[in-house]
Amino acid sequence: MLSIKNLTASINGTPVLNGIDLEIRAGETHAIMGPNGSGKSTLGKVLAGHPAYEVTGGEVLFEGQNLFEMEADARARAGIFMGFQHPIEVPGVSNASFLRLAYNKKAEAEGRDELDPLEFDDFIHEKIKVVAMKEEFLDRSLNEGFSGGEKKRNEILQMAVLEPRLAILDELDSGLDIDALRVLGDAVNKLQRADRALLIITHFPRILEIIQPQFVHVLSGGRILKSAGKELALELEERGYDWVLEEAAAGGAR
Amino acid sequence: MNSTLNVVTSQEYKYGFVTNIEADSVAAGLNEDVIRFISAKKGEPEWLLEFRLKAYRHWLTLAEPDWAKVNYPRPDFQKIVYYSAPKQKTPKYASMDEVDPELLRTFEKLGVPINEQASLAGVAVDVVFDSVSVTTTYKEKLATVGIIFCSFSEAVREHPDLIKKYLGSVVPAADNFYAALNSAVFTDGSFVFIPKGVTCPMDLSTYFRINNKESGQFERTLIVAEEGASVSYLEGCTAPQFDTNQLHAAVVELVALDHASIKYSTVQNWYAGDKNGVGGIFNFVTKRGLCKGKGSHISWTQVETGSAITWKYPSCILLGDDSIGEFYSVALTNHKQQADTGTKMVHIGRNTKSTIVSKGISAGDSSNSYRGLVKIQPKAEGARNFSQCDSMLIGHTCSASTFPYLEVQNRSAKVEHEATTSKIGEEQLFYFQQRGIPTEEAISMIINGFCKDVFRELPMEFAVEATKLLSLKLEGSVG
């Protein structure tokens, strides 16, 4: 589904990704872990097409298409979704109308029927149950005055509405208490299918107890230092990141 | 949807064409003879000529104001043509058949419904072309409930007592430089009179068109709502694209008696000049409403998108006890446009209330200032004001300023002022894009959200058009 080969990228001339290789197949869940400043979030943003980053080398194919030939909005309509670590607030734009526009843009791209406000109302009322969101949040301005947890809930609601092929969730667990994390984690699990994939970006392993990955990658200095199965997450929880970095340094010296 | 204002807003600047029509104009320049000429052309009574001359003599003693945050070459008042009218045989069109077909085609092209049958939305329109009113629709129908809606010139002839009573009663001839100039040379405009207890059954609207390259437009609007009357009035304007500047200096006066209500909405889309700031209208306008009676209510809503320079402060004098003044404004500037706009709320009566909601959007190299005065006079017991002034910046080379002035002379008054500045930035647009929404639509949605508190004061379909207009004006400003 997603094939990343020797990807390098920079921001304002400073290299931040230094040769990433990663293969994600349909049905898989991958976790990207690493210390702060390792380039985890950057990888997500580069894949989603954030304009601040410049791709300086390598290749990314999504469903066989060259990702870098698509604008960020086209990537989204093609099925790439990013759950933001810090969703922005947009005063005056109602959450419901934003969700409907996003839904209809994707429906239009896929040749499905767009939903009018009444149809969307029925549709969205089913969806909010999945993330246990209160109805009033639909009428409020997009993320405005939402708590950190409510913003994350709203991100997963958007994911449920758009049903992406590949969802990149950046630090979903930050700002969430354990109960909210369980609700959202379960919602994400329910959305996972054989033809979809997940890329979970996280600093802490606890989210991976709920959304269980088959593959865990440790990123540092813009490179993947270690890849293994989900047991790696447990090991990181016990031992922290330093040993991976040391191991990699030793390996590099060898 | 066929209202005048939708027409003003619905497209990119496609109103830049000139109508080739034989005009009856006076030579450029201003002196007492020109004023006598205008007055004679209009067949005005002696008192009105005196009003004009007095204003002119006072104007000569005034200096052009320079406190606004705008820079422009001062107009040469001797190079302006003060009277220009489409040539016609009789001083007044008896029927539409007498109107020059070229002129009719102009308004057809602008989409202004000057033919009642074609006007689906049922908005009555007064159409002003350079110095004269061309036609007013639905006049007879409105007359059946006692409403007077006609050109200002006609009102002077047909209803001289009302004009004499109210002209200059809100904006005195000596009020300010441009108001004095207007009082001396105003040519036409609209007059609205809603008698006691009558609710105007349809929206009234005036469509202003500047055509002549050298002419200024100096129109005069006077709206009077008697006890318990109410009216909603819309104003739209366009002008051809010239590489020189044209001066527009209007005066609008509103009078609301006991429990009367006047809602005045404007979509201003005068030619703004090109990307380099060449050409465009200088829009120096004095608009003021007098809440004369108890419980009266005046509400200004403006969407300012055009003009090279805007200098405009629609205001309310809250004289009657329990009267209410409101000002809702969206001012958008792009390229080299400069706007200094806001309001004045003068609380004189007891328990008077005012609300100010101002949304400034600046893009390109433009400058956008909010300037507002809230004045609570000593007897305005229990007066309340709430002001919200928000600025949005698009890009790095524009500027936004807020100049709030507060003068509170009564201890029981409650005055609140809130201001915010935000920026449409990369992060916001990326968020929308990441949800599959293209940039242009994202900007439109963000701007619409930003302006929501103002747009909801506009007539419904008009708000939709206003949103489109803003998006068009901002095309290519981001990214």
End-to-end CA separation in angstroms for chain A: 34
Q: What is the mean pLDDT of chain B?
A: 85
In this complex, do B439 and A49 lie within 8 Å of one another by their Cβ atoms?
Answer: no
Q: Is B392 helix (H, G, I), strand (E, B) or coil?
A: strand
For helices A95-109 and A148-162, angle between their N-to-C axes, nearest 10 degrees: 30
Q: What's the pLDDT at B176?
A: 94
Q: What pLDDT sits at residue B1?
A: 28
The pLDDT tens digits for B49-81 are: 999 999 999 999 999 988 889 888 888 889 888
Q: Which residue has the higher pLDDT, A45 or B82?
A: A45
Contacts of B446 in chain A (CB under 8 A): 90, 93
Q: How confident is the model at residue B8 (pLDDT cuts 50, 70, 90)?
A: very low
CB-based contact (8 Å) between A226 and chain B?
Answer: no
Please give the residue of chain B at the shortest CA–CA distance from A94. B449
Token output for B415:
């005055």
Query: Which of helix, strand or coil describes residue B74?
Result: coil
Q: What is the pLDDT of residues B332-388, one digit of tens each?
A: 998 899 999 999 999 999 999 999 999 999 988 999 999 999 999 999 999 999 999
Cβ pairs A/B, distance under 8 A = 75
* Residue at A222: amino acid letter: G
CB of A91 within 8 Å of a chain B CB? The answer is yes
Contact at CB, B433 and A76, closer than 8 angstroms: yes
Element (H, E) at B454: helix B452-455
How do strand B230-238 and strand B251-256 relate by DSSP bridges?
unpaired
Segment B268-281, tens digit of pLDDT: 888 888 888 888 88
Closest CA to B251 of B193, B215, B211, B208: B208
Percent of chain B with pLDDT over 70: 81
Name the CA dihedral angle for B38, B42, B47, B50, rounded to a multiple of 10 degrees: 0
**pLDDT tens, residue by residue, A117-131:** 999 999 999 999 989
| CB < 8 Å to A102, chain B | 435-437
Residues of A in contact with B433 (CB under 8 A): 49, 71-73, 76
Give the confidence band of B214 by pLDDT, cuts at 50, 70, 90: low
Please check whether residue B326 is in contact with residue B456, taking contact to mean a CB–CB distance below 8 angstroms: no
> Residue B428: helix, strand or coil by DSSP?
helix
Q: Is A109 on the interface with B (CB under 8 A)?
A: yes
Q: What is the CA radius of gyration of chain A?
A: 18
Please determine, for residue B294, whether its predicted confidence score (pLDDT) is greater than 90: yes
Poorest-pLDDT segment among A151-165, B25-39, B246-260: B25-39
**pLDDT value, residue B279:** 84
**Residue with token string 């708000």:** B463
How far apart CA B65 and CA B129 sit, in angstroms, is 28
Tell me whether A70 touches chain B (CB under 8 Å).
no
Q: Is residue B322's pLDDT more than 90?
A: yes
What integer pLDDT is reported at residue B5 of this predicted model? 38
* Cα–Cα dist B52/B34, whole Å: 11
Closest listed residue to residue B27, CA positions, set B212, B188, B211: B212
Partners of residue B452 in chain A, C-beta under 8 Å: 92
User: Minimal CA–CA distance to B86: which of B104, B103, B98?
Assistant: B103
The pairing of beta strand B245-248 with beta strand B309-312:
unpaired
Task: Give the per-residue pLDDT at B117.
Answer: 45
- The structural domains of chain A, ordered by start, are 2-253 (3.40.50.300)
Domain locations in chain B as residue ranges: 4-474
* Cβ of residue A93 closer than 8 Å to a chain B Cβ: yes
CB contact set of B196 (below 8 Å; sequence gap of 6+): B226, B227, B228, B229
Tell whether A191 is within 8 A of chain B (Cβ): no
Residues of chain A found within 8 Å of residue B450, distances taken between Cβ atoms: 91-92
- Residue A162 forms contact with B (CB below 8 Å): yes
Question: How large is the average pLDDT for residues A7-13?
Answer: 95
Quickly tell me which residue has 């929880």 as its tokens: A237
Residue B204 and residue B198: Cα distance in Å, rounded? 14
Closest partner residue to B434 among A52, A76, A93, by Cβ? Answer: A76
CA distances from B476 to A54, B334, B431 (A): 22, 11, 19
Minimum CA–CA partner of B430 in chain A: A50
Record: contact A92-B452, CB cut-off 8 A: yes
pLDDT of residue B11: 44
* Predicted local distance difference test score (pLDDT) of residue B83: 84
The Cα–Cα gap between A45 and A42 comes to 5
Phi/psi at B33 (nearest 5 deg)?
-65, -40
Residue-level pLDDT at B107: 63
The two structure tokens encoding residue A237: 């929880």
**Min CA distance, A229 vs chain B (Å)?**
30
Pick the range with the lowest mean pLDDT from A48-57, B121-130, B201-210, B405-414: B121-130
A48 contact residues in B (CB cutoff 8 A): 430, 434
For the cut 50, the answer to whether the pLDDT of residue B7 exceeds it is no
Question: Tokens for B382?
Answer: 């229990």
Q: How far is CA A146 from the centre of its chain?
A: 20
Strand partners, A66: A61
Out of B422, B430, B439, name the one closest to residue A50 (CB): B430
Q: Alpha-carbon distance B62 to B56, whole Å?
A: 10
Average pLDDT score over chain A: 93
Q: Does A96 touch chain B (CB under 8 A)?
A: no
Percent over 70 (pLDDT), chain A: 99
Cα A233 to Cα A187, A245, B129: the distances in Å are: 21, 15, 76
Q: Which residue from B468, B331, B473 is spatially nearest to B6, judged by alpha carbons?
A: B468
Q: Which of B208, B178, B159, B136 is nearest to B48 (CA)?
A: B159
ipTM score of complex? 0.95
Q: Is the pLDDT of residue B115 over 60?
A: no
User: Does the pLDDT of residue B9 top 50, yes or no?
Assistant: no
Beta partners for residue B266, in sequence order: B235, B302
Handedness of CA B184, B84, B18, B110 (dihedral sign): positive
The structure tokens 């990149």 sit at: A168
More confident residue, B440 or A39: A39
Beta strand spans in B269-323 (E): 280-291, 297-304, 309-312, 315-318
What is d(CA B18, CA B23) in angstroms, rounded to the nearest whole number?
13
